[in-house]
Copies of this chain bind each other. A is one copy, B any other.
């Protein structure tokens, strides 16, 4: 039974990768920079997108992944952003987004009037990291309240990301938390990962983030 499960998973992942490459190339040809945001629940993905939209204007579209509800898409639509909600379903729901769903969502959103596409992945530090969604930049958000040990415990999410945003720095100084230790642990599992400390509400660190989005690395 276990080997059937592994075989099915390997076939699904291979099919997923092919679609992801197709998405990546298509968007690159159109000059659209595609950023995939991953994190635990409540690390600040939607707030980051909101602040980014306020600063960079309206040529941004967003694909929202959630088990249930359209709460996040509604938050973004209030800012005049085109947001497409993927709900992964009734029974617990799939714990990640797959490239085929992103392809469908892009078809629905359309690629006109867009130079930046965000995917806000399902809030989950494990499964989304296993599925390439076709982004040019994978970004991992981790808030200072989650603890310094998370890169060691959930290494794949940090390893597939080129950029790590340490969020909610306005909650520092916190008891029992070391920013230095978190930075060390991120670099231990992924020495190539860039790190920016941000507080979306306070505006700290956002300039560097916006600069990266303007530069479109890899496009």
List residues of chain A with CB under 8 Å of any chain B CB. 1, 4-5, 8, 11-12, 15, 40-42, 66-69, 71, 91-93, 95, 122-127, 129-130, 143, 145-147, 149-150, 152-156, 168, 170-171, 174-176, 201
Measured in the bound complex, the distance between the Cα atoms of B5 and A12 in whole Å is: 9
Are B125 and A126 in contact, with the CB atoms below 8 A? no
Residues of B within 8 A of A66 (CB): 153
Are A41 and B150 in contact, with the CB atoms below 8 A? yes
Are B8 and A154 in contact, with the CB atoms below 8 A? no
| Partner of A5 from B8, B71, B91, B155 at Cβ < 8 Å | B8
Measured in the bound complex, the distance between the Cα atoms of B47 and A149 in whole Å is: 13
Measured in the bound complex, the distance between the Cα atoms of B69 and A166 in whole Å is: 22
Are B145 and A93 in contact, with the CB atoms below 8 A? no
Measured in the bound complex, the distance between the Cα atoms of B154 and A68 in whole Å is: 7
Are A145 and B145 in contact, with the CB atoms below 8 A? yes
Residues of B within 8 A of A129 (CB): 92
Closest 3 CB pairs of A and B: A42-B146, A95-B126, A145-B145
CB distance from A105 to the nearest CB of B (A): 18
Are B125 and A127 in contact, with the CB atoms below 8 A? no
